[in-house]
Structure 1
């Protein structure tokens, strides 16, 4: 393992210091990383095999090398980096896989030599994994720029359907032979849905409407601060019975946590880079944010010509409502212009700062004067570019 680690450092160091100026050198170092990451992945998958047996697993080494090479190439292509950067990412992946292989080797040996002690430590590690999942989920649901709506909907599913009931059942009966796996899962799903329903009913009484994001946040918090600590205490109790520990579920929890970390991190990068924003100018963007821009207070009937009819001297009290759903704090500029056939006059202009999900209502009063007019409301984004425009067409006469 030490030799593999040293071999991995060679292309990493040469790439970082820009010493790779020759195509043949690049190909040779790429082949080295390709083989090492394949061997490391095979060792991680089969930790009890000797090194001699591992290097004979060609059917595993080549596919693993190909997969991680393609991943590195895709990252470099997406980030528009130089070709030699492929070696940097492939070397970093190789180091991570080597660490995983080393840990897997030690834990597997420990499992064989001390099964009871291993079982307890393994369950405690799963508790840490679920704690990380809770923290990441809370960040993805609540904290900008990570709190993108499609993301929180995915993060809430394990809390609504499984985790509270699963942990609660394991607190009450953590022993292996007491309840079979399928029965344990069925009870866990049922209890989780009951807990979700109770929390939903309580929040409806408090907020007077059902907000599933708030329900999910409460589930995350009680899982993190109540269920996980109680489960940890239960595991530490010294009992003669064997604790329930299913490797398939544990792997699902680990994979679930890794996916959550990657998704939340990626959403933060997308939001802060601006690649998802301004849906009107970039309709194909991912995780689009939006701003609600409404003009309220017009109660007259719209005429057949598309104009509202008013009397000269009549006061029109309007409310301009702006809601920031851009998944980040925004500073807008609101400009109100009155446009007719011969003139354009700005009657109001102001800067408005809104936090994510914040709404602000701006009251404005207009006194009608004779003629046909377009009262134009323009909202500029934080780059001072026109973002949304609303028109109020009015026809003002002395008497109508």
Structure 2
């Protein structure tokens, strides 16, 4: 957590230290991928942090180390885990126990440049809801030289996962790894539709690829007025409001492949705790975990970052004070989450042991697909590569 989100998190740690006298030392490690690398190395060397902020994508990869203590065993006995939003708690509950503490959780949404939409004759109060509508809006924006591109997003597997989930499609078999060991990447018809659209947008220069995992570059294209639409995390709300000085920014639901909208997969991260620590250390960690889930702290975190509040009481508190009515951009991701079907396995993010390898493979092959003459053969190649990774890990 860097930038404004990091500052908000640092303040939460400092406030906890002031209230309890328990010292908190947070270390910023730049990216989730770097945190994962240092965490796995720490487990190997026997020197690991007391708490680890791990991307939900890497949940199973960290659990598979066998060196994690479920936070349900560390939280105070009177802590009510039912307070967490259903869609949130269900993902982080593994084998019937809350494995990690949900904290900075999100889903992917779309941001629009309202001024650019109006200039192109588009209604900013009715942003695109499907990929076909995104293309139509992009054509209007680019053909009238309002913006250079219609839309951009970082080339990250999370966006592909989100398109799968809205269609009610599983990324892998075994219910995305929640019902046994997955063995294959699924490639339903909707994914051919996705890549056909994606390639067409690239070919016609209605979309630009800012790069693999290029979060900052994608945001810059939007803030600098080069792209009128941006797909990224709800965690960008506060930053985009602050940085979009030359135009009015707005938030909208994630555009789906078709009219089907089953719901988004969760994003963001949670806190894991290593096993084997002294009991008195677990007591201190339990206090901090409980503090981070406190309704007032969750409200502070939500307002300072844009991540949605993950407990029922914090949501109720924000609703009672009229926060969402006054700040509707902050409600888009939360409503998208609550409107999703929590019982549909497609809305549960994949639990994959070789998650990082699967992630990079899909991202790399996505570039090959949109640059290929025959997307079908490249999709087949992506599937074969992921299937091989899963087979080697679980075989």
Larger strand percent: 1
Of structures 1 and 2, the one with the larger relative CO (CA 8 A, separation 6+) is: 2
TM-score by length of 2: 0.17
TM-score by length of 1: 0.17
